[in-house]
Amino acid sequence: MLNWLNGTLWQTLETPTRGVEIARNGWGSPAQIAMLPQGDVPGIWLVNEITGDVPPMVQRFISTKGPVEVVMQNGRAVGAKYEDAYAEYVLLMGVAPNDLSASREVQARSAFDNIDKLLKEQGYSFHDVVRTWLYLDKLLEWYDVLNRVRDEFFEEHNVFGGFVPASTGIGCANTLGAEIIVGAIAMRPKDGRATKAILDSPLQCSALDYRSSFSRAAEIVTPEWRTVFVSGTASIEPGGETVHHDDADKQVELTMEVVKAILETRNMTFKDSVRAIAYIKRPEDRPAWQNWLKANELPADYAQEIIADVCRDDLLFELELDAVQRL
């Protein structure tokens, strides 16, 4: 899947068997992507924890307009810095902890510190971050530890007093063998014509209400484009509790109602989506997702599908989505 963000940024979700042919499913040509040195394109390579397949997905960001400066971490390409007419951006993908033999808590803190370090090297700060991705190996064993580490980092960096990023936290291993691997998008306006904002979820409470430190959604707006980043969203009712236990059909339905309500606050629909990932806990629940797509007249490949644990053992489905609208 190859998607077009803001007229400048391409994002790919690919597998080894599809390679550059993914471009034919998007708005570009395979030649455009094939000309880019793959080792210089930062990505998060994920491992299916059930089958051990390497990888079920690599998520990459590629800019096709203007110069791109590759951001390196210990000899690895982990990010890209680029700009448009209104803002400068840093996109980090695949940032790892320093010591892969350290405890989960230490690795989690190291991953956040490394995001901060890489951003500072580019003249940014964590306050410029709009969205994050947190992929934890065996997430259900230590998600509470991750939340505690994130809270401590946010408090130390006064994130709670500023912009709390949208985010996804998913159980998925990685090819480095790290306990956690992370990504982030940061934006710095040039002259005030680019803005960012936290978006509420009309059908849910703030995740901060139950001490999960992320915003339900966020947006970047320029004179030309509105880009909405919907965080990983699941079957959670307004009070913060899981609903529709062990019913994948109803969990999918509620999740999509929540996402739809967020998009509607920006006068958007599902057809404005440019990137979506469906995280499905059990392979046998994939039909619930596919049935919902069919019933709502959306294509079967509307989202990249990954079999992975969501942040609660009783959650069977989660969706993250980006939508773009020309203004």
Q: For the chain, list the domains and their CATH numbers.
A: 2-229 (3.30.1330.40)
- Tell me what pLDDT residue 48 has: 61
Predicted confidence band of residue 173 (pLDDT cuts 50, 70, 90): confident
Q: Which of 11-25, 193-207, 236-250 has the lowest mean pLDDT?
A: 11-25
Give 11-25 pLDDT, tens digit per residue.
444 433 333 222 222
Confidence of residue 60 (pLDDT cuts 50, 70, 90): low
User: Residue 135 in contact with residue 174, Cβ under 8 Å?
Assistant: yes
Mean pLDDT for the stretch of residues 203-228: 87
Higher pLDDT, 210 or 52: 210
Average pLDDT score, the chain:
83
pLDDT at 34 over 50: no
pLDDT in tens, 287-320: 999 999 999 999 998 988 888 999 999 999 999 9
The average pLDDT across 256-277 equals: 94
pLDDT of 46 strictly over 70: no
Most confident of 43-47, 82-86, 111-115: 111-115
Largest Cα–Cα separation, the chain: 50
pLDDT value at 78 more than 80: yes
pLDDT for res 131: 96
The pLDDT assigned to 47 comes to 64
Strand-pair partners of 238:
none
Q: Give the lowest-confidence range in 53-57, 157-161, 235-239, 259-263.
A: 53-57
pLDDT confidence of 31, banded at 50, 70, 90? very low
CA distances from 154 to 64, 84, 128, 149, 206 (A): 33, 29, 13, 9, 16
Residue 67: pLDDT above 60? yes
Residue 102 pLDDT exceeds 70: yes
Strand 304-307 with 273-280, pairing:
parallel
**pLDDT attached to residue 158:** 95
